A and B are shown apart, each in its own frame.
Chain A
Amino acid sequence: MQIQVKLMDIFRDYLPPGSDVSKFILDCQTNDRVENIFIILGIPDDLPCVILCHGQIIEKDRLLAGGDVIAIFSPIFGG
């Protein structure tokens, strides 16, 4: 199955080579969870982050589904 991943701010350091400026399609396996995205991209597990799926806040242990749009960014602060 395929999902779309959008990376922001410091997480762009982990964009796969050749991907769009902020987003890319990722092939995942059935039963993969959000944490697998972090493993695939080599994002350190202890990097503080917010994860959204279709705009809703989710946790790393959530199961992925085909067509998910996952956004990952640093905790928001400022304004």
Chain B
Amino acid sequence: MDKLCRIHMDKLECELAPIPPELKYLGGRGLCSTLIANEVRPTCYPLGFENKLVIAPGILAGTVSPCSQRVSVGAKSPLTGGIKEANAGGTFGQKMGRLGLAAIVLEGKPETDQLYIAHINCDGARLEVADDLKGSGNYKVTEALRAKYGNHIGIVTIGPAGEMRMASASVAMADQDGIPARHAARGGLGAVMGSKSVKAIFIDDTGVPKTVPADNDKTFKRIVKEFIAVIKERPRVKHRLHRFGTAGLLLAVNELNSLPTRNFSKGQTEMAERIAGESVTELINARGGQTGHGCYSGCIIRCSNKFNDKDGSHLTSSFEYETLALMGSNCEIYDIDAIAKMDRLCDDIGIDTIETGGAIGVAMESGFLSFGDHRRVIEILHEIRKGTPLGRVIGNGTAITGKVFGVERVPTIKRQCLPGWDPRTAVATGITFMTSPQGADHTAGRLQGIMEFDLLDKGNIAALSKDMQMRSCFYDTVGLCHFADGTTESIEWQAKLLSAFSGKTFSEDDAMKLGETILRTEIGFNTAAGISDAQDNLPEFMNKEPLPPGITFPVSQEEITATFAGLKKSGS
């Protein structure tokens, strides 16, 4: 990939330029964070003229490398106030790779109040006025673009929440069926896209080769073949993800006492079976839905699904663990159909289900609505779509909702809601939530497996978190799905692939150094933005309240600070 597409919204012009040589072998999160750090003033207003939204596929986008088509979206976050990267599947990254596009950068703001879509193909890029799509949900926008330009296009959109610049707004990416179910959901990046008055970007890759060749293509293809065989044999792929999706985790996380329940006041519930992945899978099969669905062509993990309603009509896709945890047990809602409807609404409105589930849990804690009241939750989601005052409060996330409703128990770190892993039991993941420049984010370095739940003889658990965070930076730069080559496994496959792809030797050490460099870049941006390690804390109530039956967070702040001191110091 050798081109940057800069879309100057102040001048309403699109410019294709060669990528600077020093950025050539960056992609995904690494490219997003480097461009933001280089070009955006850290103290700028996130929804103002100076912020930029970067969309970048991984280094291996468009190649035949398996599970390497994820797309990163980056900006200064209106939710955390720091640097933010969120990534998703879908078909957009593959098509960017085919067109040789390393990144799309949205900059400036138009002077008019019109809404635009950007159209990119092999001839270049152009903007079109799209006022007819104002206020439309992601489903309608995606359907309209596919009807007009063909089902083969790759699409990125925002829903009404992004247009209204809500801090929980996501950037939606259509999957291979044209369903806008894959979201770069965290950190309010959809609000940044909305602040640029861009409703959608679509790519037509007609006329370009379907695969991007490697420098050493023969070797690359041989390694790809071997790597595919390894992934297919991984037990988690064979036994868990393909059959039950991420929702299949829920009962296990419940047993491990880490499932957020009743606004993070408990880590398990007797009701878990009612929203378990096994129960979801049973409904999917009974209603003619689909498990083992890939979010893009060529995915060999296929952890996604298509969930139908009671009448057998499609209701939502990619019905995931995090949604079931935050909008389910966290809100004490144990009705799969109700949660699936919420998921559909969140996908259509364009909001993060984690942030929204957290915000609603906090509103429930205040007594504004009752735990378990799924009908009222659905009404509130419609209020977010309409932009009523209540909808805007909840749509601006968990921390804002906590302030407005005067709640003390607010489960956020750096103003971002904790995902579905209680840090008092998922300890290494908890340290990642505390220390990541991304705020509380499970994709920033979750220790896969069960090691973190059994702390005996595990040494410095904070060091494990640090290692995972660097690995995650690297994987998100390659564009790799973490389920293919997990954070605790060797990076050797990626090192081999990158060596063959670039024609230059790339070692596992190089991979870790690249991950560390990206992490330092992000920490440096945050430090300049006024975010220090003083904010690397658990939510205050979690330090005061043991998780039943009496579990407290077992690692001292001093140990965490000491482990991350090198990274934080050089980042300042």
B303 on the interface (CB 8 Å rule)?
A: yes
A47 on the interface (CB 8 Å rule)?
A: yes
A10 on the interface (CB 8 Å rule)?
A: yes
Q: How far is the CA of A7 from the CA of B256 in the complex (A)?
A: 14
Contacting residues, chain A, for B448 (C-beta < 8 A): 76-78
Contacting residues, chain B, for A79 (C-beta < 8 A): 246, 249, 321-322, 419-421, 442, 446
Contacting residues, chain B, for A55 (C-beta < 8 A): 255-257
By the criterion CB–CB under 8 Å, are A12 and B278 in contact?
yes
Q: How far is the CA of A50 from the CA of B239 in the complex (A)?
A: 13
A64 on the interface (CB 8 Å rule)?
A: no
By the criterion CB–CB under 8 Å, are A9 and B453 in contact?
no
By the criterion CB–CB under 8 Å, are A57 and B454 in contact?
yes
Task: Considering the complex, give the chain A residue whose CB is closest to the CB of B268.
Answer: A55
By the criterion CB–CB under 8 Å, are B273 and A21 in contact?
yes
Q: In the assembled complex, how far is the CB of residue A72 from the closest CB belonging to chain B, in whole angstroms?
A: 10
By the criterion CB–CB under 8 Å, are A73 and B251 in contact?
yes
B98 on the interface (CB 8 Å rule)?
A: no
A-side interface residues, number (CB < 8 Å): 22
By the criterion CB–CB under 8 Å, are A22 and B251 in contact?
yes
A34 on the interface (CB 8 Å rule)?
A: no
A37 on the interface (CB 8 Å rule)?
A: no
Q: Which of B226-268 contact A (CB under 8 A)?
A: 235-236, 239-241, 243-244, 246, 248-249, 251-253, 255-257
A52 on the interface (CB 8 Å rule)?
A: yes
Task: Considering the complex, give the chain A residue whose CB is closest to the CB of B240.
Answer: A74
Q: Is the interface of A mostly helix, strand, loop or mixed?
A: loop
By the criterion CB–CB under 8 Å, are A9 and B449 in contact?
no
Q: In the assembled complex, how far is the CB of residue A73 from the closest CB belonging to chain B, in whole angstroms?
A: 4
Query: A50-B252, A57-B454, A79-B419 known; A8 and B241 CB under 8 Å?
Result: no
By the criterion CB–CB under 8 Å, are A76 and B243 in contact?
no
A75 on the interface (CB 8 Å rule)?
A: yes
Query: A48-B235, A48-B239, A71-B255 known; A57 and B450 CB under 8 Å?
Result: yes
Contacting residues, chain A, for B421 (C-beta < 8 A): 79
Q: How far is the CA of A24 from the CA of B251 in the complex (A)?
A: 16
By the criterion CB–CB under 8 Å, are B255 and A9 in contact?
no
Contacting residues, chain B, for A52 (C-beta < 8 A): 255-256
By the criterion CB–CB under 8 Å, are A77 and B240 in contact?
yes
B391 on the interface (CB 8 Å rule)?
A: no
Query: A21-B273, A78-B241, A79-B442 known; A8 and B236 CB under 8 Å?
Result: no
Total of A-B residue pairs, C-beta within 8 Å: 90
B564 on the interface (CB 8 Å rule)?
A: no
By the criterion CB–CB under 8 Å, are B321 and A78 in contact?
yes
Query: A55-B256, A76-B252 known; A9 and B239 CB under 8 Å?
Result: yes
Cβ contact of A77, chosen from B256, B419, B454, B486, cutoff 8 A: B486
By the criterion CB–CB under 8 Å, are A9 and B235 in contact?
no
Query: A9-B243, A77-B486 known; A22 and B449 CB under 8 Å?
Result: no
Task: Considering the complex, give the chain A residue whose CB is closest to the CB of B450.
Answer: A50
Cβ contact of B277, chosen from A9, A57, A71, cutoff 8 A: A9
Q: Which of A25-79 contact B (CB under 8 A)?
A: 47-48, 50, 52, 55-57, 71, 73-79
Spell out B's residues near A (CB within 8 Å): 235-236, 239-241, 243-244, 246, 248-249, 251-253, 255-257, 273, 276-278, 303, 321-322, 419-421, 442, 446, 448-450, 453-454, 483, 486
Query: A55-B256, A76-B449 known; A10 and B442 CB under 8 Å?
Result: no
By the criterion CB–CB under 8 Å, are A8 and B278 in contact?
yes
Task: Considering the complex, give the chain B residue whose CB is closest to the CB of A54.
Answer: B255
Q: How far is the CA of A78 from the CA of B481 in the complex (A)?
A: 10
By the criterion CB–CB under 8 Å, are A47 and B239 in contact?
yes
Contacting residues, chain A, for B252 (C-beta < 8 A): 8-9, 50, 71, 73-74, 76
Contacting residues, chain A, for B276 (C-beta < 8 A): 8
Task: Considering the complex, give the chain B residue whose CB is closest to the CB of A71.
Answer: B255
Q: In the assembled complex, how far is the CB of residue A68 from the closest CB belonging to chain B, in whole angstroms?
A: 14
Query: A6-B255, A55-B256 known; A78 and B240 CB under 8 Å?
Result: yes
Contacting residues, chain A, for B273 (C-beta < 8 A): 21-22
By the criterion CB–CB under 8 Å, are B243 and A10 in contact?
yes
Q: In the assembled complex, how far is the CB of residue A60 from the closest CB belonging to chain B, in whole angstroms?
A: 15
By the criterion CB–CB under 8 Å, are B446 and A74 in contact?
no
Query: What 5 A-B pairs come out closest when comparing CB atoms?
Result: A77-B236, A48-B235, A78-B246, A57-B454, A73-B252
By the criterion CB–CB under 8 Å, are A75 and B235 in contact?
yes
Contacts A10-B243, A76-B252, A77-B241 known; 10 new A-B pairs at CB < 8 A: A8-B248, A8-B276, A9-B248, A47-B239, A56-B454, A74-B240, A75-B450, A78-B321, A79-B419, A79-B446
By the criterion CB–CB under 8 Å, are A9 and B244 in contact?
yes
Contacting residues, chain A, for B241 (C-beta < 8 A): 77-78
Task: Considering the complex, give the chain B residue whose CB is closest to the CB of A8.
Answer: B251
Query: A22-B273, A50-B252 known; A76 and B450 CB under 8 Å?
Result: yes
Contacting residues, chain B, for A57 (C-beta < 8 A): 450, 453-454
By the criterion CB–CB under 8 Å, are A73 and B255 in contact?
yes
Q: In the assembled complex, how far is the CB of residue A47 from the closest CB belonging to chain B, in whole angstroms?
A: 7
